[in-house]
Homo-oligomer: A and B are copies of this chain.
Amino acid sequence: MLNLQSESSDRWLHQVRQHLDEILIDHAHCERKAAGTAMSLMSSYVENLELCREMTQIVIEELEHFHLVIDLLQRREIRFRRLKPSSYGKRLNDLVRKHEPQRAIDRLLVAGLIEARSCERFDLLRKHIPDRELAEFYGSLFESEARHHSTYVRLAKIFGTSAEVHDRLKELAADEARILAEGDPLPRMHS
B47 touches A39 (CB 8 A): no
**Cα-based distance from A59 to B46 in the complex (angstroms):** 16
- Which residues of B sit under 8 angstroms from A67, Cβ to Cβ? 52-53, 56
Q: Is A189 part of the binding interface, using a Cβ–Cβ cutoff of 8 Å?
A: no
Contact for A82 among B39, B46, B74, CB less than 8 A: B46
Contact for A59 among B43, B47, B63, B80, CB less than 8 A: B63
Interface size, chain A (Cβ < 8 Å): 23
One complex includes copies of this chain to the number of 2
**Cα-based distance from A59 to B80 in the complex (angstroms):** 21
- Which residues of B sit under 8 angstroms from A60, Cβ to Cβ? 60, 63
Q: How far is the CB of A40 from chain B (nearest CB, A)?
A: 8
Q: Is A111 part of the binding interface, using a Cβ–Cβ cutoff of 8 Å?
A: no
Task: Name the residue of chain B whose CB is nearest to the CB of A71.
Answer: B49
B63 touches A56 (CB 8 A): yes
Q: Which of A42, A74, A82 is packed against the most chain B CB atoms within 10 Å?
A: A42
A39 touches B49 (CB 8 A): no
Q: Is A173 part of the binding interface, using a Cβ–Cβ cutoff of 8 Å?
A: no
- Which residues of B sit under 8 angstroms from A63, Cβ to Cβ? 56, 59-60
A39 touches B46 (CB 8 A): no
Q: Is A103 part of the binding interface, using a Cβ–Cβ cutoff of 8 Å?
A: no
Known: A39-B39, A47-B81, A52-B66. 15 other contacts (CB 8 A): A29-B46, A32-B43, A35-B39, A36-B39, A46-B80, A46-B82, A47-B80, A47-B82, A52-B67, A53-B67, A56-B67, A59-B59, A59-B63, A60-B60, A60-B63
Question: 3 tightest A-B contacts by CB?
Answer: A56-B63, A39-B39, A60-B60
